[in-house]
Amino acid sequence: MAYFRRLLPLASILLLMLSACGSQTTNNQSASPTTAPVSLTVFAAASLTDSFNDIKTAYHIARPNVTITYNYNGSQALEQQLANGAPGDIFASADLTNMQKASDTKLVSTSQIFAKNKLAVIVPASNPAQIHTLKDLANKGVKIDVAAPTVPVGKYGLQVLDNLGKSSDYGADYEKSVKANFVSQEENDKAIVQKVQLGTVDAGIVYVTDLTPATEKQITLIAIPDQFNVIAQYPIAVTKSSQHASDAQALVQYILSPQGQAILNKYHFLPPNA
């Protein structure tokens, strides 16, 4: 009996160790991407539409168990949707401001810059207003479509005009004349592209990435010199409410990987370290 009494404490210790190992294994499994069917919802800036659709196709080949659903819109609208409780797994913003808002309210985990972008002016391919240079935007009667100041591309556009207005080549009168030609303020860049394609406006201020294989026959791009341009930084983060955080993080890592970056580069996004 004394022998068995001595064995009981040892048996208890062994059971505790086995239980801990089992718990650790379970935790490790939950921290790794699953092979079971998973559906991820990605809230992404509208300017990412074409590149992220390609990433969805490529990622499904690598991870056929993962289904990706996108919610494309202006970053300011996406942040507000998340704040109002809309379910999502990943937030990809076109600016740091809206990501910071999401971070401040504990909606997302730590974010990373995954791409950068620049602005450009676009005109219809037929170019009825004969806009060939940035200075032509100040011509009387020109109809220019931009995004609202709360939208990242709208905010960046105003910064570009401010830069031009401060230069000796353009000046404050130029800036004032261009702003006087604004006829509409959109909620995202894709709405601007659509109006320029249809010819309902003479020009729009968007991203260089808005010139895609699908739009290049309907629009012409006018570059903005680097000294006046703005570099837009795109951060991405997994949401705190995600039910599939490990799978969402795996998708984020793919976007940051050489494969994901190659797709973004195909659509003229700049790399994070540019």
* Same-domain status, 108 and 197: no
* Same-domain status, 143 and 157: yes
272 lies in a domain?
Answer: no
Provide the residue range defining the domain that includes 65: 38-117+233-266
Burial environment of residue 25 by CB neighbours within 10 A (0 to 12, 13 to 18, 19 or more): exposed
- CATH code of 113's domain: 3.40.190.10
* Same-domain status, 81 and 211: no
183 contacts 144 by C-beta, under 8 angstroms: yes
* Same-domain status, 109 and 240: yes
Residue-level pLDDT at 160: 98
Residue-level pLDDT at 32: 67
93 lies in a domain?
Answer: yes
Residue-level pLDDT at 19: 43
84 lies in a domain?
Answer: yes
* Same-domain status, 123 and 219: yes
Token code pair at residue 259:
């494969």
211 lies in a domain?
Answer: yes
* Same-domain status, 112 and 135: no
* Same-domain status, 186 and 200: yes
Burial environment of residue 247 by CB neighbours within 10 A (0 to 12, 13 to 18, 19 or more): buried
pTM: 0.85
> Would you write out the chain's pLDDT as a tens digit for each of its 274 residues?
444 344 444 444 444 343 444 433 333 334 567 788 999 999 999 999 999 999 999 999 999 999 999 999 999 999 999 999 999 999 999 999 999 999 999 999 999 999 999 999 999 999 999 999 999 999 999 999 999 999 999 999 999 999 999 999 999 999 999 999 999 999 999 999 999 999 999 999 999 999 988 898 999 999 999 999 999 999 999 999 999 999 999 999 999 999 999 999 999 999 999 8
Backbone angles phi, psi at 244, to 5 degrees: -135, 55
* Same-domain status, 139 and 184: yes
CA atoms of 160 and 162, how far apart (whole Å): 5
* Same-domain status, 110 and 237: yes
Residue-level pLDDT at 33: 76
* Same-domain status, 145 and 214: yes
Residue-level pLDDT at 267: 95
* Same-domain status, 110 and 240: yes
Residue-level pLDDT at 35: 82
- Report the number of distinct structural domains present in the chain: 2
* Same-domain status, 103 and 187: no
246 lies in a domain?
Answer: yes
